Amino acid sequence: MTGQRPSPVANGWGRQIRWIVKHPALLPCLLLAIQTLPTLWAKDAWFSDEVRHAAVLVQMIEQGHWLVLHLGESFYPDKPPLYFWLLAAIAWISGSTAPSVFMAGAAVSAIAFLFATIKAANSFVQSRVVALLAGLLLISNFYFIQRAHFPRMDLLFATFILLSHVCFYRAVSRSAGQLLWVSTAFLFAGLATLTKGPVGFVLPFVSVLAFAALERRLGAVINRNMMIGALAFILPMLAYLLGVYLTSGEAFIRAILVDQTLQRALDTPRLAGPIYYYLQKLPEIFLPWSLIIFFLPWRQMLTIRKHARPKQQETSRSSGHLYILVSALASLAVISAFDYKITFLLITLLPQVALLCAIHLNRLVKARRRALFALITVVYICAAAIIPFAGKFTLWPGHVRGELLVAMACVPMIIGMLLTFRRQALIYCTVVALGSTLVSLPFYLVTISGLDAVMSPADFGARLGRAARNGQTALYHHPFRAGIFDYHAGMVIPYIDNLQQVRRQMEASKCGVLAIRSKDWSDWREKPDNFVILSEQQLDYESYMLVGWGGNACHFGSDA
């Protein structure tokens, strides 16, 4: 216990709070829609994953690569196809493959993730107050808001994993309908696997095994129903692999199972990190709510007490709390064991972290709760004071705009926090969620939109595409990253990772344009003669150059 649980109803707020608690998914999902829908057209497809995924989608639709994804002239085994099917459905509905399609994919995934987290509380916690708090914590967490605005498959991936967790927990904790719950759990694990890879199966399955072992109920996992239910995962996977084999042969299957799974997990020097990487990163991405760590009564929580046998309802809740904790720790252990370390994988733990934080926030005694909220308010005051100068600390200070507008949007939020930090958790968290929504709009509509100049390769892509359509040779060099310019070029720009081959291509054609990193161009000792620097652009943390060759007769100009 972390103190007596307070009533969610405060004087003067009773009727409104009761109605919001009765429908815990409504307010968080509405606020998330307000955060994301106006910003669907705010930004372009950005360097580097967004434009690569955009190029993959265009090729899927135009060339019919529905099972075996392609990037440029090569296979793209990095990702399974399910997320791209979602994007293709949005593109079909909208009749376009504009950047707003990918933003809509991110928004849909975020709403599904948020809704699933809130509904998961019904299974694990059986508390609408905790469910609502978890939702409010997520939509006032900047990392989650950020992920809802940047097109990747991680939120959809984590949603399927969470649904698999819920079904596995119900299968283990209930005797009735176990086969149905097991089959559904494996089905969602299969959907997660088809979204981003085998981790989508490993995380929920390892979690349910660990939970069953702690509960001394391994028989609920290792039984006939579990083996039959596993067919809901095995059969779709076999059908997918068979389709891949018939379409592209054994080489692509090897690329999926070995190069993109085992090799990434066990040998990825470029993205390697220490085993404690996620342990230090998780509190950072869940700010400000991770500050609750300093206000929990750890001595009480860790003290083992003997109690009378609890009621059946309390036993069920304790079991659900245990599953949330075990699944979070088991998932953290699994992803930490991989050599491959990337922050996106922590999204698979965000539902458990939000639920655990909401459980303990709802239990905090008044003094600790007020101290926590006071600290969070101070943090936001400091952040608002820094925001007008934040652009100066970025790589592109000349392109950051709207800082003062964002800081001004923080003012009513901070006033609300100052007025409510002594109130109940639901009231304060609602104010923070409303304020986060208000602040996010100028941030994404003005600040993020203004960064297209240093994050979107649209200009280089368009010029490479025009050069190719004018009969010139268009090339792109990078040591390991293909397909950056294809989407904005409107065609496949040949990608070459070897500078000697680039030189041969340049010598073999009369006129052409090459996109290359500035540092690679500077370090290239055997550059061909007769070239001209057409343009240079900062893309994220690297500078790129557009180089023309062939002399004045090639008429590069601005239409190259």
Q: In the prediction, which pLDDT does 95 show? A: 95
Of residues 390 and 553, the one with the higher pLDDT is: 390
Three-state SS string over 70-117 comes to EECCEECCCCCCHHHHHHHHHHHHHCCCCHHHHHHHHHHHHHHHHHHH
Mean pLDDT computed over 175-189: 90
Residues 482 and 70: their CA atoms lie apart, in Å, by 11
Q: Are 7 and 369 in contact (CB under 8 A)?
A: no
- Single out the residue of 169, 125, 138, 139 nearest to residue 5, CA to CA: 125
Residue 314 has pLDDT above 80, yes or no: no
Q: pLDDT band for 74, please (50, 70, 90 cuts).
A: confident
Quick: pLDDT tens for 5-32: 544 544 556 677 788 889 999 999 999 9
Q: In the prediction, which pLDDT does 268 show? A: 58
Q: In the prediction, which pLDDT does 560 show? A: 46
Angle between helices 312-337 and 199-214 (to 10 degrees): 130
Q: In the prediction, which pLDDT does 305 show? A: 46
Mean pLDDT computed over 343-364: 96
Q: In the prediction, which pLDDT does 4 show? A: 47
Quick: pLDDT tens for 394-422: 889 989 999 999 999 999 999 999 999 99
Q: Are 297 and 371 in contact (CB under 8 A)?
A: no
Mean pLDDT computed over 300-324: 66
Residue 315 has pLDDT above 80, yes or no: no
Q: pLDDT band for 73, please (50, 70, 90 cuts).
A: confident
Residues 451 and 444: their CA atoms lie apart, in Å, by 10
Residue 307 has pLDDT above 70, yes or no: no
Q: In the prediction, which pLDDT does 261 show? A: 65
Quick: pLDDT tens for 515-527: 999 999 999 988 8
Q: What is the mean pLDDT of the chain?
A: 90
Q: Are 231 and 168 in contact (CB under 8 A)?
A: no
Q: Where are the domains of the chain?
A: 77-302+312-363, 366-454, 457-559
Handedness of CA 294, 299, 302, 308 (dihedral sign): negative
Phi, psi of 96 (to 5 degrees): -155, 160
Mean pLDDT computed over 219-246: 93
Q: Which CATH architecture has domain 457-559?
A: 3-Layer(aba) Sandwich (3.40)
Residues 201 and 39: their CA atoms lie apart, in Å, by 33
Task: Fill in the DSSP letter of residue 272.
Answer: B
Cα→Cα distances 493→454, 463, 476, 485, 538, Å? 21, 11, 7, 7, 20
Mean pLDDT computed over 87-95: 97
Q: In the prediction, which pLDDT does 498 show? A: 93
Q: In the prediction, which pLDDT does 265 show? A: 58
Quick: pLDDT tens for 119-143: 999 899 989 999 999 999 999 999 9
Residue 1 has pLDDT above 50, yes or no: no
Quick: pLDDT tens for 148-157: 999 999 999 9
Quick: pLDDT tens for 448-495: 999 999 999 999 999 999 999 999 999 999 998 899 999 999 999 999
Q: In the prediction, which pLDDT does 306 show? A: 45
